[in-house]
């Protein structure tokens, strides 16, 4: 992510795994401490293990747990110890100011990190009103989205980030659905699925 989590603190950047850039919109090399080489199957397995914590955080803010899992997949590949060169840490790659603002005193603690990231993402969804812009703000910062008149900033990293998370979102929706339909799972009291955020930036712009 290249944008700040706190709008009046532009130097506080939430730098995201694999696709981040700085204010000059140049790619930033990230140092991520993955336990195993990234593969689609391996990462998905690591993220799915987090489902109880993700569901807990998702319930608290009425988000689809699959959306949080998609962000975790893209941000850290499910590595709770992931650390960027800019200081973004943990599963949802929170900067220090963002962690403090949303209640994560230890950004490497999986429960705290996911809960804080969920609260942050919920606020972005409430502010921008659609998934694409919320993800763009998560990656490039709220100020960047506002600067480009409420559209996805034309940064290569952000242009790649948004569809990548949305693609993973669908994968995890299917995976979570399959898990919930297993015998005995429905009675466990797990999270219902909120209505997914599917409105696009173009649709939002047409309403303005």
Residue 11 has pLDDT above 80, yes or no: no
- The answer to whether position 29 is within a domain reads no
- The answer to whether position 49 is within a domain reads yes
What pLDDT score does 183 carry? 77
Residue 145 has pLDDT above 80, yes or no: yes
Residue 48 has pLDDT above 90, yes or no: yes
Residue 182 has pLDDT above 90, yes or no: no
Residue with the bigger pLDDT between 185 and 70: it is 70
pTM attached to this predicted model: 0.74
- The answer to whether position 2 is within a domain reads no
- The answer to whether position 11 is within a domain reads no
Residue 57 has pLDDT above 60, yes or no: yes
What pLDDT score does 41 carry? 64
Tell the burial category of 174 from Cβ atoms under 10 Å away from its Cβ (0-12, 13-18, 19+): exposed
What pLDDT score does 40 carry? 59
- The answer to whether position 17 is within a domain reads no
Residue 155 has pLDDT above 70, yes or no: yes
Encode pLDDT of 184-208 as tens digits: 665 444 444 454 554 444 444 444 4
Residue 33 has pLDDT above 90, yes or no: no
What pLDDT score does 179 carry? 87
Could you tell me the residue range of the domain that residue 166 belongs to?
A: 40-202
Residue 67 has pLDDT above 60, yes or no: yes
Looking up residue 71, the CATH number of its domain turns out to be: 1.10.530.10
Question: What residues are labeled active site?
Answer: 75
CB-CB contact of 19 with 84 (8 Å): no
Mean pLDDT of all residues belonging to the chain: 78
What pLDDT score does 125 carry? 98
CB-CB contact of 101 with 7 (8 Å): no
Domain total of the chain: 1
- The answer to whether position 7 is within a domain reads no
- The answer to whether position 23 is within a domain reads no
What pLDDT score does 116 carry? 99
- The answer to whether position 182 is within a domain reads yes
């Amino acid at each position: 992510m290249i944008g700040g989590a706190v709008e009046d603190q532009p130097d506080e950047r939430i730098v995201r795994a694999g696709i981040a850039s700085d204010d000059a919109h140049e790619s930033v090399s990230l140092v991520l401490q993955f336990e195993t080489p990234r593969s689609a199957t391996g990462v998905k397995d690591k993220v799915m293990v987090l489902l109880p914590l993700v569901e807990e955080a998702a319930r608290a803010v009425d988000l689809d747990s699959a959306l949080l899992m998609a962000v975790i997949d893209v941000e850290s590949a499910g590595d709770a110890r992931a650390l960027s060169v800019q200081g973004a840490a943990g599963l949802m790659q929170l900067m220090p100011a963002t962690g403090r603002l949303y209640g994560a005193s230890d950004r490497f603690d999986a429960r705290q990190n996911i809960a804080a990231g969920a609260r942050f993402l919920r606020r972005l969804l409430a502010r921008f009103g659609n998934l694409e812009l919320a993800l763009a703000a998560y990656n490039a910062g709220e100020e960047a989205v506002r600067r480009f008149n409420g559209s996805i900033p034309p940064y290569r990293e952000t242009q790649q980030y948004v569809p990548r998370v949305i693609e993973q979102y669908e994968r995890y929706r299917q995976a979570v659905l399959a898990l919930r339909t297993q015998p005995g799972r429905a009675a466990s009291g797990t999270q219902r699925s909120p209505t997914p955020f599917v409105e696009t930036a173009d649709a939002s712009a047409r309403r303005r």
